[in-house]
Chains A and B, each alone.
Chain A
């Protein structure tokens, strides 16, 4: 590819369904047939405008799981702190709730951005041990999903969940706790890029500036305690132009936080660091010199120009030429949430109408997501998931030998549920009915593969799958007879069962393909 020619020029090629699927995969979690038909026929700009509209706020977590203290059907996350193991249970169901929100997402980038922010401003719910704080934190991420990076940083800095997670609530005058002061710079704002040279002094000064912020478990919010605040003047290093933050006393001390955020966001490096993260989240992990100069630099300038509003930058990315570069299409390895939650959106899994059973289903998905390596709410560390920072493997971190085999085991489990466990299962027959030509093995395969695989498998592989679908490699009835028989009489259980098994076999193969792991 000719990288020199790629800037943030708008996409000028022909807008095809292939490009549309790429856009949807990168902005939603999985793409359903309905999503495709909804967007088909719309221009790139129209599609992006729809995707960049915020979602409705979801209904908060309700007790449909036998919370020991909250009445059935009532909201959980505004109640008093749970006794004993209650918070553990609540956090488990809050994660399940989150999975439910993602599965039921609107046609908006919102959920992808919520997870982006969670990976950026990472916290671990099981470490914070307070479901109310965790919910409040998620709510903040969702409110600012496409909002202003600086303002979100300001809120996160005194967010009760973050205060507990990075010990900001234990950071006091005379006895600073450096944890948040360090990560605020290293992971959240200026980063550790080649042009970031903040020092240990800056870590200590930031800790002093932020001393005195506490969390209130009764009110579920944070507050400033002037008595714990260090009022002395804070002098930063040359990286911050030896900036001095004037010491403030009394309630006024709370304002030092704003001085700090403003000082940090006056550094150009913040916008570059942030745009690299967006690029790795939406486009590609590899940032070479050409990408740095032709993509990151102009995006960072745009971010600064928009006063740190993220939306214009997202729009620039999603409508750009570089986003649709043929070389990059299908070049990302699906994160577990793309892979697994995506499956449920793509393949019409049977969800229960019963609220208790439904919350159990969501809970099960969230647990399995954890086994796949992406426990929503509990990333492995404050740096988020290694797939977005671990040089040079990046996304490949999702599919080392153990994770690849767990993906395989899980999809088989759901395709062929055991008699004892049918909590989750695909309904492939219903899925096939939504396709354009389910009666033709070739057409059924082509449409399905286009929907769920990042790139199309080679001809030998396709021919093999087609043989399995056509007649089970010569061991079963012809699909071209089986399917029409099923359509003619859906109540014929024997035929329905054969259809179900044939499709389960076919999709069992597809889900295990390398091409299926890509998006």
Chain B
């Protein structure tokens, strides 16, 4: 008998998500990558959105085919069937009612959703969870570098020495709004990113004279570290400023400033991209997803904390994407969310959810393969308080697939950057 999963995998409407590792294709991407670097142009940008606290994927992109199980397991936070936002090409999934902006984007074929992303034996600690996502390592807990940082080590060998290059003067990565630099930490403990909270951050920065040698005690080492950061500010501050002033915000979809923090961050990112700053990675974040209690308003499950977060997320992404179109940069950019983990299938009595396993990843952009990619994890027919989502896709495979599919990274590079990844790759992009 054909089960549901194999049916979906074989269905013509849904191209297979998993592609076996193909050496010929790998050789081709290597070729493309070489061409790219010959032209000295890296016009592929990835914007990472960290959903801090562990997002409840099951209430974000709701598997309607499992609705009866969910209505048992998470009765008190369940979104009424009639309120779930329907998707025109999927009868099995729908969006949370506060994600209308993202629904529009989805119908414009700009969004893909991957449910069931995680890793075996998920660490349910926030601290370890996010560290694992930053480093893309689960075995080696004390690893110091992040996956973005290691990939940037490949693209910017020797950084910061010899940079900014004339043809390529943007910082390798930028963090907006106090994201941890760990994700962009290179193998030699070099932070490959510049962080800002505001575009005026670096005005008139002064850090003293750095001619004196440093002492070889801890104080001296700290002075060396601070000098290195200062130097980066002094080099990249004026560059960032000069770019950003060339580009104003074009989209009218952004909420008023200070209402939606994520939108404020993405607005800066859009201006930097629009101005032509040559930076392949941006990392932003939205706080507040640790919804153990009062995730929903008990009197109306479509409202409450989680609904507000998702509204902000979806409005921020929609405004950002609109901005990119108006700037003519839409084909150079893709976005992807990540979270330390997902949440439990069953809700708690307190109208919330405890820490869980698989997260639901949202990607957006003109190049992503639009749709719900994959059937999503099966649920036990009778959910107990301890049941967790099964992992459908390893997040390391996902990250490796983004690096190969989007940036054209060779398998050789993947071996160094995401060494623990299995051989399969996900088919994430339009061909």
Contact = CB atoms under 8 A, between A and B. Distances in A.
A337 interface: no
Interface in B344-389: 348-350, 352, 354-355, 385-386
Given A167-B292, A192-B125, A176 B229 contact: no
Given A170-B350, A284-B218, A400 B229 contact: yes
B15 interface: no
A327 B197 contact: no
Interface string B114-154: 00000000001111100000000000001010000000000
Given A167-B293, A455-B215, A457-B208, A389 B182 contact: no
Contact of B229 (A328, A380, A401): A401
Given A179-B354, A333-B222, A381-B126, A402 B206 contact: no
B227 interface: yes
Contacts of B180: 386, 390, 397
A172 B208 contact: no
Contacts of B194: 401
A171 B203 CA distance: 50
Interface of B: 52-53, 124-128, 142, 144, 175, 178, 180-182, 185, 189, 191, 194-197, 201-209, 211-215, 217-223, 225-227, 229-230, 232-233, 236-237, 287, 290, 292-294, 348-350, 352, 354-355, 385-386
Contact of B223 (A203, A380, A397, A518): A518
A401 B232 contact: yes
A169 to B, nearest CB: 8
B230 to A, nearest CB: 7
B207 A167 contact: no
B220 A455 contact: yes
Contact of B126 (A175, A329, A382, A464): A382
23 contacts: A171-B350, A174-B349, A177-B348, A179-B292, A179-B354, A192-B127, A200-B386, A204-B386, A330-B222, A331-B221, A381-B53, A383-B127, A392-B189, A399-B226, A401-B202, A409-B201, A454-B219, A458-B213, A461-B209, A512-B208, A514-B222, A514-B227, A518-B219
A397 B178 CA distance: 10
Contacts of A412: 204
Given A327-B217, A404-B229, A514-B223, A509 B206 contact: yes
Most buried by B among A171, A331, A400: A400
Given A177-B348, A408-B206, A509-B206, A458 B189 contact: no
B288 to A, nearest CB: 9
A328 B220 CA distance: 10
Contacts of A404: 207, 226, 229-230, 233
Contacts of A386: 180
Q: For the complex of A and B, list the 7 residue pairs with the smallest distance between their C-beta atoms, beginning with the closest.
A: A458-B212, A331-B218, A170-B350, A175-B349, A330-B219, A514-B226, A455-B219
A465 B287 CA distance: 43
A401 B196 contact: yes
A320 to B, nearest CB: 17
Given A330-B218, A397-B180, A405 B126 contact: no
A439 B416 CA distance: 61
B222 A518 contact: yes
Q: Which label, helix, strand, loop or mixed, suits the secondary structure of the B interface?
A: loop
A32 to B, nearest CB: 22
Contacts of A515: 219, 223
Contact of A391 (B144, B215, B227): B144
A284 B221 CA distance: 13
Nearest to A408: B205
A461 B125 contact: no
Nearest to B185: A393
Contacts of A383: 126-127
A405 B204 CA distance: 9
Given A167-B293, A167-B352, A329-B217, A513 B229 contact: no
A167 B293 CA distance: 6
Contacts, number: 179
Contacts of A380: 287
Contacts of B197: 371, 402, 406
Contacts of B226: 333, 399, 404, 514, 517
Nearest to A286: B218
Given A459-B212, A513-B208, A400 B181 contact: yes
Contacts of B355: 178, 182
A405 B212 contact: no
Contacts of A400: 181, 191, 195, 229
Most buried by B among A327, A404, A412: A404
Contact of B217 (A166, A326, A459): A326
B425 to A, nearest CB: 31
Contacts of B352: 167, 170, 177
A186 interface: yes
Nearest to A455: B219
A167 B350 contact: yes
A406 B348 contact: no
A442 interface: no
B88 to A, nearest CB: 38
Contact of A405 (B233, B293, B354): B233
Interface in A364-379: 371, 373
Most buried by A among B127, B195, B202: B127
Nearest to A513: B208
A392 B182 CA distance: 9
Nearest to B350: A170
A396 interface: yes
A380 B293 CA distance: 18
A514 B207 contact: yes
B187 to A, nearest CB: 12
A170 B349 contact: yes
Contacts of A396: 222, 225
B385 A402 contact: no
A491 interface: no
Nearest to A203: B124
A334 to B, nearest CB: 10
Contacts of B182: 390, 393
A336 to B, nearest CB: 12
A331 B232 contact: no
A418 interface: no
A489 B135 CA distance: 63
Interface in A211-226: none
A170 B124 CA distance: 20
B124 to A, nearest CB: 7
B390 to A, nearest CB: 17
Most buried by B among A179, A397, A459, A514: A514
A170 B223 contact: no
A2 interface: no
Given A329-B219, A404-B233, A455-B220, A514 B205 contact: no
Most buried by A among B144, B197, B211, B223: B223
Contacts of B178: 373, 402-403
A195 to B, nearest CB: 14
Interface string A324-353: 001111110100000000000000000000
A241 interface: no
Given A404-B229, A406-B201, A389 B127 contact: yes
Nearest to A463: B209
Contacts of A513: 207-208
B207 A401 contact: no
